[in-house]
Structure 1
Amino acid sequence: MNVKFNRIKHLSALLLLSAAAVQVGCAASGDTQAAKSDSLATETAGNSPKNVIIFIGDGMGISTITAGRIFVGQEKGRTGEENKLSFDKFPQLALIKTYNTNAQVPDSAGTATAILSGYKTNIGAVNVRPDKDVQKMFLEGCGGETAPTLTDKAKASGKSVGVISTARLTHATPAAMFAHSVSRDIEADKDLEAPFDYDGCVSISQQLITSEVDLALGGGRKEFTDAQVAAWSGAVVSTKAELMAAPTDQRVLGLFNRSHMSFDADRPETEEPSLAEMTTYTMDRLSSDPDGYVMMVEAGRIDHAHHGTNAYRALKDLQALDEAVAAAVAKADKDTLILVTADHSHVFTMAGYPVRGNPIMGLVRGVDRKTGGPDADYSLDQDGKPYTTLGYQNGPNVREASSDTLTDNMVQDRDYRQQTAVNLSGETHAGEDVALFAAGPGAARFSGVMEQDEIGQALAEMLGQ
């Protein structure tokens, strides 16, 4: 589809703001920033939440949050920079180190293990203790002694468990809630072949079917055999309508797509529920447990859009996460701890000195240093060509002197893939710290610079495990 960003182009009028008007906007933003929500601030006391909701924006680094904040603001018709995401209002903030035990720049399997299970492991491993002897890891990950998952810990505390992801439910991050696997690639029974044909190895899909997870909602139908789906002890649904009509007294397995769920930009054309709808549905269903619940909610497709250097879809999926967090905050009571974090970052950049209110998906138009307003023309590189605010350090579509001259229509197309510096077949993760936002009882446990596995350790302590 070649749908243009017509709704963003109206922001060009905002570029005619005077320097004085921009200064007024900055002052108002500062006033708003200083006023934290009293209800959220008072909920940080105590260390034993009844309910825990962990939101993970897969690949949602700091640059993605900043660009997403502006994107969402501009979708509302504002300049964007002054906008606040729902979790920007949380009272507690920490920086999280993301490295794996054997990797400086991590993957989702090792990082999700740290967040949810409380220990770091090798890149690609799901809830298997790290070891330099990979064969030993295979033996432990295929029926050997393993540490309990967050689902195990929640169940030991008498709580219900929900797992939500816009990725496949067998993908690395959701798998870390309930499975042990020496490799994230053993998603289905068909994957149990060399080098994963060790005795005792069980696919992630089979581990979900036999787990104690109460509600599992996401994609990945192709990773489950018909026999596995039939063995699920509860309702199985495949559309939003079926989900909303599911029996309220049964476990629910929702498989809304053959592979990953659709990008949120494309979801309206499908029968899939939104991330916010899956979140509030699960909260409603699990809130009947008098002992409380533990939920993991992953916006998994932020990561996939970034790998494809498609910033529009990455930011639309961040917007979907923002809406899900807002819905959870509105529904949650004061006994609920809500965390919002990322497993890792991406080599996603935001640069070029664009003027305040410049369309975040657009070409860079700089600041006229004489008037304080926007330059008359787009900023140009050394080859005399305009460039975008958003880009990627590596991936396909390398920017070269011979590259086509970019136009506003071109770069604001939802299918446009931003240019890159280093030529790779796909864009990669990044290794810098990510943010964690926290609100609710126990939120004060999260502050400063933290190792990623400290998140899982804190959760375990709160669950009394």
Structure 2
Amino acid sequence: MEDEIATQMLDYDVDVLLGGGIEHFEAEERDDGRDLIEEAEGAGYELLYDRDELLQTEGDKLLGLFSTSHMAYELDRETTNQPSLAEMTNTAIERLSKDDDGFFLMVEGGRIDHAGHDNFPAEMMTDTIAFDEAIEVALDYAKSDPNTLVVITADHGTGGLSLGLDGEYGFERDVLKNVTRSIDYMAEQLDDDNENLEEVLQAYAGIDDLTDEEADRILEDAETVEEGIARVISDRALVGWTTTGHTAVDVPVYAYGPTEEQYRATLDNTEIPKMMIDALHADEEDGDITIHNLEPTEDMTLQSGESVRIQFESEPGLDASFSIRAPLVNVPNAPTELPVTETEPGVYTAYWTATSNLQASGAEIEVTVIDSEGNTHSEIADGKLNINP
């Protein structure tokens, strides 16, 4: 799959590409034998291979490949010459912001997910901090440019991390703060018979009192040394895990900038890219579609079985829909958008009924209209809904 992604990024002529994965661009490592490095140079990309080259570049079309495979964990980055996520974000914004038509930039803290899969607590913490530093770069730019929207979210959780373990509520933060290298790095420092385990953990995990029981857990009980070290560090920090896979919990979504209020709700993940596209085209001509007299105009409280009328006026012949935007609980198979009927020319009406399994405070009603040419317009009613309070 990574080979295909690398191909797609070049085929779509993305302006700035920064990260790891050299092996997916080199002909000798790819199944199809394509030399994407040569193709990228032919397409006008400046090739960058380390942090120094990134910080010194003055090019506008950049392909930065800073690692053969994945980028290093943040804990290990100082042992490499790789740039930080914040530095890559800053360079990308500096280049892309030169475009008068605006830009779209996607930044991923991908190694947070890897740490979750392996149940590596310190790596998850430090790579999340590195991601937060990249967010700060993006927000600083957005604060200087009022037309910039920043959206922060995730596609899923991983590992099911908990603070507190085996009935003991707490979190020993210093255990994780004392870890100075990744568990993968520690494992690489072990000699063939693992006799230097105590020295390695003392040097890189701050553990100077490893017990015989913990040593056995690492060397005898765990399937790999990495897994055993992760368990010992997690246990000492009172960090629990429920899985080495993805979790099914809701993930946060935060937004700053134009249309930020649209993200203050429980959203289906497929709505987010649509909202981003709408924001990108917010200043374009929308066919002069307007919405008038949108109801309800005042807040309403609905108990189970009670309904609200949603009504507005616009030009005739539009496709119209509405959605209830709020944290709703226990909503199996709930559609994210519901149809609105044109009850007479230019008048659109729908009814929505609260059921007993719904509960929300301050739910917003958003209506959307689309004309025959695909132009869209959305508005949120002034009246909010309190459902089964």
The question of whether the paired residues in 2 share the 8 Å contact of 1:340 and 1:438 is answered with: yes
1:235 aligns with 2:46: yes
Q: Alpha carbons of 1:360 and 1:448: their partners in 2 closer, same or farther (altered >3 Å)?
A: farther
Shift of 1:359: 4.2
Picking from 46, 57, 60, the partner of 1:246 is 57
**TM alignment of 1:21-36, pairs within 5 A:** none
Distance 1:320 1:301 in 2: 10
Q: Give distance in 1, aligned partners of 2:110 and 2:23.
A: 17
Please tell me whether the aligned partners of residues 75 and 126 of structure 2 are also in contact (alpha carbons under 8 angstroms): yes
| Distance across 2 between alignment mates of 1:303 and 1:282 | 23
* Alignment-derived partner of residue 436 in structure 1: 253
Q: What is the CA–CA distance in structure 1 between the aligned matches of 2:163 and 2:154, rounded to whole Å? A: 18
Q: How many residues align?
A: 221
RMSD: 3.2
Tell me the residue number matched to 1:323: 133
Aligned partner of 1:345: which letter? G
Kept after mapping to 2: 8 A contact 1:215/1:282: yes
Unmatched 5+ stretches in structure 2: 28-34, 178-212, 215-220, 282-374, 376-389
Runs of 4+ in 1 over 3 A off after TM superposition: 352-362, 406-412, 417-422
Q: Are residues 306 and 421 of structure 1, via their aligned partners in 2, closer, same or farther at CA, if it must alter by over 3 Å?
A: closer
Alpha-carbon contact 1:397-1:419 (below 8 Å) kept: no
1:259 is matched with 69
Tell me the equivalent position of 1:461: 278
**Alpha-carbon contact 2:85-2:131 (below 8 Å) kept:** yes
Paired position in structure 2 for 1:204: 5
Describe the SS at the equivalent of 2:114. helix
Deviation (angstroms), 1:357 = 7.7
Contact 1:309-1:418 at 8 Å conserved across structures: no
3-state secondary structure, aligned to 1:266? helix
Residue identity opposite 1:243 in structure 2: L
Runs of 5+ unmatched residues, structure 1? 1-185, 189-202, 363-385, 388-395
Matches within 5 A, 1:104-115: none
Question: Structure 1 residues 358 and 271 mapped into 2: Cα distance closer, same or farther (>3 Å)?
Answer: closer
Distance 1:418 1:409 in 2: 5
CA displacement at 1:355 relative to structure 2: 5.2
Residue deviations 1:15-70, cap 9 Å, x none? xxxxxxxxxxxxxxxxxxxxxxxxxxxxxxxxxxxxxxxxxxxxxxxxxxxxxxxx
1:282 is aligned with what amino acid?
Answer: A
Matches within 5 A, 1:402-417: 411=236
2:112 aligns with one of 288, 293, 302: 302
> What SS does structure 2 have at the residue aligned with 1:452?
coil
Deviations 1:268-316 (A, max 9, x none): 1110000000111111111111111110000000000111111110110
Q: Which amino acid aligns with 1:447?
A: R
**Percent of residue pairs identical:** 30
Q: Which amino acid aligns with 2:52?
A: A
Alignment of 1:344 with 2:181, yes or no, is no
Task: State the match for 1:380 in structure 2.
Answer: none
Higher Rg of the two aligned structures: 2
Task: Read off the aligned partner of 2:120 and give its amino acid letter.
Answer: N
Tell whether the 8 Å contact from 1:219 to 1:259 is kept in structure 2 after alignment: yes
| CA drift at 1:204 | 2.3
Q: For residues 257 and 462 of structure 1, what CA distance do their matches in structure 2 show?
A: 34
**Structure having greater relative contact order (Cα 8 Å, sep ≥ 6):** 1
Indicate the residue corresponding to 1:225 in structure 2.
Answer: 26
Asked if the contact 1:209/1:229 (under 8 Å) is kept, the reply is no
Task: Decide whether the 8 Å contact of 2:164 with 2:239 is kept in 1.
Answer: no
Q: CA deviation at 1:212?
A: 2.1
1:463 positional shift: 2.4
Match of 1:273 in 2: 83
Distance 2:58 2:108 in 1: 24
* 1-structure distance, mates of 2:52, 2:277: 35
Q: Partners of 1:277 and 1:421 in 2: how far apart?
A: 33
Q: More strand by proportion, 1 or 2?
A: 2
